């Protein structure tokens, strides 16, 4: 019995079939800067200081403009108002109300004072950490005095890696 439907070759393969390798990512040249935008969730969050120390686009409290990098790092202080504003900004992303094309990379929490945080604030931070990556920046007395010349605090090594120049 013949059919007019085309049939493939009658070849059977034995053993595992090799999967073609995934395409390699586009090479980055040495010194390429990772592009991202710092967005403060409230006034005084530390956006300008973080942009000066870690690089990136300082957007203040505004959403990145079309020419700005679409990768967003939300910034808030670790006091009650700062954490509440971070949660509010996360809700804006969750509801899809952030400008189109923006990607939320992480929340960066900047210490509002030296020392340990009170338990209610730690619990609020844990809630934020349950939905997004969180990077913590400790209290840096030199930054308070405007001296941004030193190395970033060693507690921020993960943030340094996130924002680093590709070598």
Quote the pLDDT of residue 28.
44
Residue-range domains of the chain with CATH = 32-162 (3.40.50)
How do 165-166 and 32-33 pair as beta strands? Answer: antiparallel
Q: Where are the beta strands (DSSP E) in the chain?
A: 32-33, 37-40, 57-58, 71-77, 103-110, 134-137, 165-166
Quote the pLDDT of residue 159.
95
Quote the pLDDT of residue 123.
97
Q: What is the pLDDT along the chain (167 residues), one digit of tens a residue?
A: 334 444 444 444 444 444 444 444 444 445 555 689 999 999 999 999 999 999 999 999 999 999 999 999 999 999 999 999 999 999 999 999 999 999 999 999 999 999 999 999 999 999 999 999 999 999 999 999 999 998 999 999 999 999 985 43
Please count the other Cβ atoms lying within 10 Å of the Cβ belonging to residue 68.
19
Q: What is the four-CA torsion angle of 83, 84, 87, 92, rounded to 10 degrees?
A: -130
């Amino acid at each position: 019995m013949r059919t007019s439907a085309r049939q493939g070759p009658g070849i059977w393969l034995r053993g595992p079939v090799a999967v073609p390798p995934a395409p390699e990512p586009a090479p980055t040249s040495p010194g390429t800067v990772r592009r991202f935008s710092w967005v403060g969730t409230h006034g005084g969050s530390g956006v300008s200081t973080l942009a000066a120390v870690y690089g990136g686009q300082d957007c203040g409290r505004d959403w990145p403009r079309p020419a700005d990098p679409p990768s967003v790092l939300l910034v808030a202080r670790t006091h009650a108002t700062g954490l509440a504003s971070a949660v509010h900004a996360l809700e804006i992303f969750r509801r899809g109300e952030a400008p189109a094309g923006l990607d939320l990379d992480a929340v960066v929490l900047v210490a509002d004072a030296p020392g340990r945080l009170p338990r209610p604030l730690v619990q609020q931070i844990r809630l934020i950490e349950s939905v997004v990556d969180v990077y913590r920046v400790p209290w840096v007395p030199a930054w308070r005095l405007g001296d941004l010349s030193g190395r970033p605090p060693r507690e921020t090594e993960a943030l340094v890696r996130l924002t680093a120049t590709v070598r």
